[in-house]
Amino acid sequence: MFDKKRYERWQRLRRYVLLRDGYTCHYCKLKMTNVDATADHIFPRSLGGKNIAKNLVAACIGCNKDKKNIPYQEYLERIAA
């Protein structure tokens, strides 16, 4: 069932993270619009990460899809290689 309050809370958090990070992808440095911007979990939710601002960074759709549920440091090492 759709939880409107939960959705609105996530949208506020997402907007905060995107503004904090200047609508710039944390991984590839692409400048984004609201349409192509996502909030990516540094420590993935599937591994116990939380939906809190300090666990989120702005990411473009491509980087977010590429990162999947890989932990942050491991993904940074992968894209640096």
Q: Report the domain count for the chain.
A: 1
Local structure of 81: helix, strand or coil: coil
What's the farthest any 2 CA atoms get from each other in the chain?
43
Model confidence pLDDT, tens digit, residues 22-43: 999 999 999 999 999 999 999 9
Which position has the token pair 């992808």? Answer: 25
Nearest by Cα to 63 from 35, 34, 29, 33: 29
CATH of the domain at 67: 1.10.30.50
| Per-residue confidence band for 9, with pLDDT thresholds at 50, 70 and 90 | very high
What pTM did the predictor assign?
0.87
Sign of CA dihedral 54, 50, 18, 15: negative
User: What is the span of the domain harbouring residue 32?
Assistant: 4-80
